[in-house]
A and B are shown apart, each in its own frame.
Chain A
Amino acid sequence: MKGELFDVSFNPLTCVLKKPLHIAQDIYEVKHQVKRCLLEIKDWADRDVFLSWSGGFDAAFTVLAFLELVDEGKLPVDAFIIKGARFHSKGKNISGDWDRGVKFLQEIHQPGMRIDLQDVELNKALIKKIIDVCFKFDQVVFGSAIQEAWRRDQDEISLIHMGFPQPTHKKDVLLKFRAFAHFQVGDNSENVNIYQWDQHIFSSFFTNLFFEMPYVKFNVDHHYDEYLWKYFQIQSYKIVSFLACYPILIKLLLKNRTAAPSLIEDEDIKMLWQTSQQRLKLNVIKEYGHCEVILPNGEVVKSIHHSQEYFNV
């Protein structure tokens, strides 16, 4: 769906920047930009839009920005639906952050809010859809794929928050993406990706923290858990900024797995996923592959300044 910041194609993954980027004024800019984009997306959409809810930081940040717009009288409380799925296997929850997220949602609830939280059994049909997603995007990440598979069954436009800039820690490479950062791409996609709505919201992530936070390799003695540290390594600049904007988000720190295949209770389904995963790994070569973002002339985007130079800003 709509998105004019990047031209993206898959197999192989390529991502071309179409607009110049800039440095954020301060750590609060991202909040102002999310609020602006929510208003624009509401105007643009030709039908209902739901804010995709997982119980994680990004979903909660967007909902808090939405509620601030409601408080300011800029949007009615029913302007968006808040919608998410708790995935379970034989009744056992496989979504690590879900219960905490539901509690959070209850605490910030306002009368008139439209909330649709679904219980979804992880069955063969859903596994098949997850595999389809992985093949289509040439990537295998269970937690992201299961959410996309579920979103495809929804009637409304889904507002997602993916593909924010991640520090590359590589000289002369400003940005790189995985395929799942672009779930909004494609004629059949019913997703609108708020973080890539335009160059202004995308640029609001470019704080000094983005550029200056060092790369720190996972160390089991210091960092407790590899998943947790990987999350901090990539997102710490954003987490700090989000916490400064909405301190209540401390309730959702620290991140746990969105959906963990290891928690699948149904042995048949678990086996099906494991065998499918093997097949995917053989066929989907770029399992954790990234592409470096390039300019229309094919040069890798080296820096913010480089993007501005190219677009003659």
Chain B
Amino acid sequence: MLFDVTFNPFKVVLTQPIYSTDDYLTVKLHTKRVLLEILDTYSSESINLTWSGGMDSAFIGLCFNELVEEGTLPSSTFSFYTARYILDGKPCSIEFERGIRFYEKYINSDIDLHIYDINLDDKTFLEKSCLLVNEIRRPTLGSLVQEQFRRDIGGRFIVGCNYPYRYDDTGLFTGAAIDQFWHHLPNSPCISIFDWDADIWSSFMTPFFINRPIIPYKKTLHYDKYLWKGMKGKTVQYMICFPQLFELFFKHMTVPYIGSVASVQEFLEHVKEQYMNTYRTSIELPNGELITSVQQIQEYFNER
């Protein structure tokens, strides 16, 4: 495992050296490689892909699609599963329909897509989802319902939710959020692709990721907070690999703060305040040092 993870308190330790790359396309090569390795590793189990209509699942989907088109894998290797979240009788995420149109346009029609309607007015499902907070203190309904959906389906799911992220300029990986590490929980069905090994994680270590300053949202310049939050290094990188992903630009919420779930979101916001310091951390070296550069990582591991 690339990381040693503990949850109480939340702590993430890098266990292997990583490196940087100038080639923005490397992430595609490694994603395809890791898909094949996951298949070898979990050959006896049912493995699926998720489709949310967002950039991460579409990127992984396009990589799988390319493996199918190249003849490396049969189209039946994985199926996609997606949830259409319904609120007050209507789909609540505008990303869903856009995502389905994208799927139909770019993904080989021989690959199965299973669409489930998930009613967020269903208190049982909502309660189950919210109770996941006890396992992993990530108080965002969007992420909780997606994990619950995966658990309800059964089998294993390849997910792309753990990627290098900088929350501020104090370190290189300051934005490690607890729900990016679902796959370290014994009950989780997730197989995380982007931290599968040091090579794929390193493929995100581009000049843009390393050198970009973190600019706080400013209403007069950045139009919308969620839009600005979505301007991540990986978004640029994904589009370089698959320009068609421009169709999924800009990002929107999986479960917006509307209707009957608004109060749940507000409650979770309250939880968020309570656990502010426990759901996000900075990835550190085994000696406890905060990681600030790729060079520091290499120096640390070279000395051993």
Smallest CB gap from B224: residue in A = A224
Q: What are the residues of chain B within 8 A of A111 when measuring CB–CB?
A: none
Smallest CB gap from A227: residue in B = B223
* Residues of A200-216 contacting chain B, CB below 8 A: 208-209, 212-214, 216
A256→B206 CA distance, assembly (Å): 27
A222 touches B252 (CB 8 A): yes
A251 touches B243 (CB 8 A): no
Chain B's interface size range is 20 to 34
B20 → A minimal CB distance (Å): 12
Q: Is A236 an interface residue (CB 8 A)?
A: yes
A99 → B minimal CB distance (Å): 9
**Interface-lining segment among A121-129, A237-245, A293-301:** A237-245
B243 touches A214 (CB 8 A): yes
B223 touches A244 (CB 8 A): no
Smallest CB gap from A256: residue in B = B221
* Residues of B230-274 contacting chain A, CB below 8 A: 231, 236, 239-240, 243-244, 246-247, 249-250, 252
Q: What are the residues of chain A within 8 A of B212 when measuring CB–CB?
A: 243, 247-248, 250
A259 → B minimal CB distance (Å): 16
A224 touches B250 (CB 8 A): yes
Q: Is A100 an interface residue (CB 8 A)?
A: yes
A247 touches B211 (CB 8 A): yes
A53→B225 CA distance, assembly (Å): 28
* Contact mask for chain B residues 158-186; partner A; CB cutoff 8 A; 1 contact, 0 none: 00000000000000000000000000000
A224→B251 CA distance, assembly (Å): 11
Q: What are the residues of chain B within 8 A of A222 when measuring CB–CB?
A: 94, 98, 250, 252
Number of A-B contacts (CB under 8 A): 72
A116→B212 CA distance, assembly (Å): 27
A27 touches B215 (CB 8 A): no
* Residues of A16-36 contacting chain B, CB below 8 A: 27
Q: Is B222 an interface residue (CB 8 A)?
A: yes
B143 → A minimal CB distance (Å): 21
Q: Is A272 an interface residue (CB 8 A)?
A: no
Given the known A-B contacts A214-B247, A221-B94, A247-B207, are A240 and B239 also in contact in the complex, defined by CB atoms under 8 Å?
yes
A216 touches B222 (CB 8 A): no
Q: Is B85 an interface residue (CB 8 A)?
A: no
Q: Is B51 an interface residue (CB 8 A)?
A: no
A273→B179 CA distance, assembly (Å): 54
Given the known A-B contacts A224-B250, A228-B223, A247-B207, are A212 and B243 also in contact in the complex, defined by CB atoms under 8 Å?
yes
Q: Is B157 an interface residue (CB 8 A)?
A: no
A244 touches B240 (CB 8 A): yes
A256 → B minimal CB distance (Å): 7
A237 touches B243 (CB 8 A): yes
Given the known A-B contacts A244-B206, A250-B213, A251-B213, are A224 and B247 also in contact in the complex, defined by CB atoms under 8 Å?
no
Q: Is B131 an interface residue (CB 8 A)?
A: no
One of B213, B224, B246 near A216 (C-beta < 8 A): B246
A7→B206 CA distance, assembly (Å): 40
Q: Is A113 an interface residue (CB 8 A)?
A: no
Q: What are the residues of chain B within 8 A of A248 when measuring CB–CB?
A: 211-213
A222→B30 CA distance, assembly (Å): 30
Q: What are the residues of chain A within 8 A of B215 when measuring CB–CB?
A: 250-251
Q: What are the residues of chain B within 8 A of A256 when measuring CB–CB?
A: 221
One of B213, B227, B244 near A212 (C-beta < 8 A): B244
A216→B24 CA distance, assembly (Å): 23
A250 touches B240 (CB 8 A): no
Q: What are the residues of chain A within 8 A of B98 when measuring CB–CB?
A: 222
Given the known A-B contacts A212-B243, A213-B243, A214-B246, are A243 and B208 also in contact in the complex, defined by CB atoms under 8 Å?
yes
Given the known A-B contacts A247-B208, A253-B231, are A240 and B236 also in contact in the complex, defined by CB atoms under 8 Å?
yes
Smallest CB gap from B252: residue in A = A222
Q: What are the residues of chain A within 8 A of B243 when measuring CB–CB?
A: 208-209, 212-214, 237
Q: Is A150 an interface residue (CB 8 A)?
A: no
B223 touches A236 (CB 8 A): no
Smallest CB gap from B208: residue in A = A247
Q: Is A223 an interface residue (CB 8 A)?
A: yes
B207 touches A244 (CB 8 A): yes
A8→B62 CA distance, assembly (Å): 42
B255 → A minimal CB distance (Å): 16
* Contact mask for chain A residues 146-188; partner B; CB cutoff 8 A; 1 contact, 0 none: 0000000000000000000000000000000000000000000
Q: Is A254 an interface residue (CB 8 A)?
A: yes
Q: What are the residues of chain A within 8 A of B211 when measuring CB–CB?
A: 247-248
Q: Is A225 an interface residue (CB 8 A)?
A: yes
A214→B247 CA distance, assembly (Å): 7
Q: What are the residues of chain A within 8 A of B94 when measuring CB–CB?
A: 221-222
One of B24, B221, B236, B252 near A254 (C-beta < 8 A): B221
A100→B220 CA distance, assembly (Å): 10
A258 → B minimal CB distance (Å): 14
Q: Which 6 residue pairs of A and B lie closest in terms of their CB atoms, listed nearest first?
A: A212-B243, A247-B212, A247-B211, A213-B243, A247-B208, A250-B212
Q: Which residues of B contact A (CB under 8 A)?
A: 24, 94, 98, 206-208, 210-213, 215, 221-224, 227-228, 231, 236, 239-240, 243-244, 246-247, 249-250, 252
Q: Which residues of A contact B (CB under 8 A)?
A: 27, 100, 208-209, 212-214, 216, 221-225, 228, 232, 236-237, 240, 243-244, 247-248, 250-251, 253-254, 256
Q: List 24 A-B contacts (CB under 8 A).
A: A208-B243, A213-B239, A213-B246, A214-B247, A216-B246, A222-B252, A224-B227, A224-B250, A232-B249, A236-B239, A236-B249, A240-B240, A243-B212, A244-B207, A247-B207, A247-B211, A247-B212, A250-B213, A250-B215, A250-B231, A251-B213, A254-B222, A254-B223, A254-B227
